[in-house]
Amino acid sequence: MTTPNCLLYCHCAHAKVVPDATKQAVLKALAESGRPFEAIADVCEASARKDPALARLMAQPGLQMIACHRRAVSWLMHAAGTELPDNVTVHNMRASTADDIMRALDSRTEVVS
């Protein structure tokens, strides 16, 4: 089993586009897994504020994100003044189950973009 160098979880606190049950299940599974991860309340909000933490996170080797659609994350990073690197794996909570996402973390494959 391989673990990501950097794992970023977006709780999507403001947009309400990710089902609450999925967010809670993923967050619980991450906490119980013992994997190190960084949680951000809402990538959309951080992007709107041009939070410099986003650029720092995008520069992390082996980054995997648990958020929503890859294309949305890409545009949010662009709006924040940084870019989503091609090698970043984005796991989509809008279209995937928590179990699928947790399994995909090990394989570094995006379950749904």
> Percent of the chain scored above 70 by pLDDT?
90
Residue 17 is predicted with a pLDDT of 86
Q: How far apart are CA 20 and CA 43, in angstroms?
A: 16
Give residue-wise pLDDT tens across range 27-39.
999 999 888 999 9
| Measured torsion, CA atoms of residues 107, 35, 51, 110, in degrees rounded to the nearest 10 | 20
CA-wise closest residue to 39 among 47, 52, 30, 50: 30
Nearest C-alpha neighbor of 49 from the set 82, 16, 11, 93:
82
DSSP 29-41: HHHHHT---EEES
Asked whether the predicted pLDDT for residue 2 surpasses 50, the reply is no
How many CB atoms lie under 10 A from the CB of residue 55? Answer: 14
Q: pLDDT digit string (tens) for 41-77?
A: 999 999 999 999 999 999 999 999 999 999 999 999 9
